[in-house]
């Protein structure tokens, strides 16, 4: 018999994190909990965060978002991967495409056969075995075709680019229509119970109290509840990911709507390019220890598709994570829980997975400490695994043109990452621990794209005759090329299906 159920959930913040949480909880809880959201128009939202990874489709499905309507409402586009320019060496260019590479056939994974044949000069570049990479090259897009389960066309992984402000507005409409009550105003103070320090209300500038049993802190970098009230503490990862500032600027769109994000490395950081229907989003993430704000702005503005539509907007951050995402009756989601630079577009995914975890461990008034500890353990695991993948891009560079890149190549790295690099360096092996976010295909593309060639390949590859392997690789390559031929142009797909 359940007698100690919570009644009221208060979400503090109306950015992407706040409204995603509100939409998901309202959908899941079907009106049985009172869900309130407090946001301040005066403070506004961070307003960046426009590129995603494929798991967002699951979120949209859970909250019942129609894809075409969503793309239209957010001026969105489709995303098949991320192109990395100048990351290994200046002039290098590779793509991290979503989804699979190749097609498994025998005992050992596809890429092991490819490694052998590459060494023998009998394989094509890796991208030719990946449908999302080849489609990106030709600016084509098609969602997976369920009627073709055995074709690469039946297995196309994709995500979205969208305008962050329009996305928050879209989610707000959805959440409010499902009963979420919105309170507008600046929170001036946070009230805590004297007995156990649990938050019992937030107090707005005009004196209004918004009371609740469970508080979700989506207040952005300031961490109004989790840090300013509860002083939970923050683990700083700047020694591994030293970029600490960004400048963001929208510009006029390019004539071609590309179905991928681009990340171009500069002398002390990198620049994102996110193609939307009505504009291109750009930003320069950089390290203030190695460059000035003026130099960073100049590098950004020199690399735009078209005229800037505003002045570059500065953002400062400290990479790392909150020591506990869940503390007492406060769960931090979004930037309030931590920050990693958007190199692999992971922040919105972290919001989504936090929401899912909160639903999995949704508390009653007892706030079971075992559940809270498990929630925090899983959050940490997820953060650390993503962190390692992002560090890999920096560590694995061969650039000698700037002190920043040399420092990154020489920096000590977490043992967990060193282990993964060593596994790949020796035999091209990769390990995915406990269903971590990035698959072997992702790791492979960054290792390969940034010029780490394994010393050997898997010994069992030699069980197959060379000619048979060559034929196998060629077969996969040809099928992918034919599939891409029939895919429509990205812009044409949007014009036809999302208007």
| Interface contacts to ligand FAD, rule CB under 6 A | 13-18, 38-40, 43-46, 48-52, 164, 186-187, 218-220, 222, 224, 246, 248, 283, 315, 317, 334-336, 342, 345, 347-348, 351
By C-beta, is 33 or 272 nearer to ligand FAD? 272
- Minimum CB separation of residue 284 from ligand FAD in Å reads 9
- For helices 415-427 and 369-395, what crossing angle results, to 10°? 50
**Nearest-5° Cα angle at 82, 57 to 433:** 70
User: Which of 293, 287, 363, 305 has the alpha carbon at shortest distance from 25?
Assistant: 363
Residue 206: burial class (beta carbons within 10 Å; 0-12, 13-18, 19+)? exposed
**Strand-strand pairing, 181-184 and 187-192:** unpaired
Q: Which is nearer to ligand FAD, 48 or 131 (CB)?
A: 48
Supply the minimum distance, in Å, between the C-beta of residue 220 and ligand FAD: 3
In whole angstroms, how close is the CB of 299 to ligand FAD at the nearest point? 15
Cα 134 to chain centroid distance, Å, stands at: 22
Pick between residue 50 and residue 163 the one whose CB is nearest to ligand FAD. Answer: 50
Residues 384/371, Cβ–Cβ less than 8 Å: no
DSSP secondary structure of 281-346? EEEEEE-TTTS-HHHHHHHHHTT-SS-BSS--EEEE---EEES-SEETTEEE-GGGGEE--GGG--
Closest separation in Å from C-beta 275 to ligand FAD: 12
184 membership: H or E segment, kind and range: strand 181-184
- Nearer Cβ to ligand FAD (152/223): 223
> Minimum Å distance from CB 44 to ligand FAD?
6
Q: How far is the CB of 454 from ligand FAD (least distance, A)?
A: 31
The Cα 200–Cα 8 span in angstroms is 10
**Continuous segment of H or E residues that includes residue 481:** helix 466-486
- Residue with smaller CB distance to ligand FAD, 151 or 356: 356
Longest dimension (CA), the chain: 78
Neighbours of 421 (CB within 10 A): 17
DSSP string spanning 367-398?
A: --HHHHHHHHHHHHHHHHHHHHHHHHHHHT--
CB 112 within 8 A of CB 428: yes
Give the nearest distance from C-beta 54 to ligand FAD in angstroms: 12
**Nearest CB to ligand FAD, comparing residues 216 and 430:** 216
**Residue 68: other Cβ atoms inside 10 A:** 12
Measured from the CB atom, is 310 or 468 closer to ligand FAD? 310
CB atoms within 10 A of CB 256: 12
**Residue whose C-alpha is closest to residue 336's, from 346, 356, 351:** 351
Catalytic residue among 79, 100, 140, 395: 79
Annotated catalytic residue 79: yes
Of 128 and 345, nearer to ligand FAD (C-beta) is 345
Residues 164, 18 contacting (CB under 8 angstroms): no
| Nearest-approach distance from CB 107 to ligand FAD, in angstroms | 37
Q: Please list the active-site residues.
A: 79
């Amino acid at each position: 018999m359940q007698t100690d159920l919570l009644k009221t959930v208060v979400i503090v913040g109306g950015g992407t994190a706040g409204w995603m949480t509100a939409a998901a909880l309202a959908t899941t809880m079907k009106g049985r909990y009172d869900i309130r959201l407090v946001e301040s128009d005066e403070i506004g939202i961070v307003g960046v965060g426009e590129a995603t990874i494929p798991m967002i489709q699951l979120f949209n499905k859970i909250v019942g978002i129609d894809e075409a309507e969503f793309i239209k409402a957010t001026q969105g586009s489709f995303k098949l991967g991320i192109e990395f320019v100048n990351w290994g060496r200046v002039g290098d260019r590779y793509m991290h495409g979503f989804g699979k590479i190749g097609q498994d056939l025998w005992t050992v994974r596809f890429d092991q056969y490819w490694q052998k044949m590459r060494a023998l000069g009998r394989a094509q570049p890796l991208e030719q075995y990946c449908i999302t990479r080849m489609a990106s090259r030709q600016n084509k897009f098609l969602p997976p075709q369920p009627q073709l389960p055995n074709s690469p066309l039946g297995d196309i992984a994709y995500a979205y680019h969208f305008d962050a402000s329009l996305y928050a507005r879209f989610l707000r409409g959805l959440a409010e229509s499902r009963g979420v009550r919105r309170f507008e105003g600046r929170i001036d103070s946070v009230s805590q119970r004297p007995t156990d320090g649990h938050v019992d209300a937030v107090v707005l500038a005009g004196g209004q109290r918004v009371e609740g049993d469970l508080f979700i802190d989506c207040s952005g970098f300031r961490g109004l509840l989790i840090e300013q009230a509860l002083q939970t503490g923050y683990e700083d990862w700047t020694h591994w990911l030293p970029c600490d500032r960004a400048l963001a600027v929208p510009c006029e769109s390019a004539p071609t709507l590309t179905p991928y994000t681009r990340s171009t490395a500069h002398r002390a950081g990198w620049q994102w390019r996110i193609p939307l229907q009505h504009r291109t989003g750009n930003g320069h993430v950089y390290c203030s220890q190695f460059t000035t704000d003026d130099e960073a702005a100049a590098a950004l503005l020199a690399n735009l598709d078209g005229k800037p539509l505003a002045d570059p907007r500065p953002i400062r951050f400290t990479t790392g994570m909150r020591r506990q995402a869940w503390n007492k009756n406060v769960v931090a989601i979004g930037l309030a829980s931590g920050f990693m630079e958007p190199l692999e577009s992971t922040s919105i995914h972290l919001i989504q997975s936090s929401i899912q975890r909160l639903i999995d461990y949704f508390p009653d008034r007892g706030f079971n400490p075992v559940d809270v500890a498990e929630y925090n353990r899983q959050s940490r695991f997820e953060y650390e695994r993503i962190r390692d993948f992002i560090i890999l891009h920096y560590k694995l560079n061969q650039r000698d043109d700037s002190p920043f890149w040399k420092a990154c190549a020489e920096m000590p790295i977490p043992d967990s990452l060193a282990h993964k690099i060593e596994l790949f360096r020796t035999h091209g092996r990769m390990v995915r621990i406990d269903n971590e976010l990035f698959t072997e295909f992702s790791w492979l593309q960054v290792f390969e794209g940034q010029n780490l060639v394994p010393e050997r390949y898997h010994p069992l590859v030699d069980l197959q005759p060379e000619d048979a392997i060559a034929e196998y690789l060629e077969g996969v390559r040809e099928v992918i090329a034919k599939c891409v031929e029939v895919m429509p142009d990205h812009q044409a797909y949007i014009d036809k299906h999302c208007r």
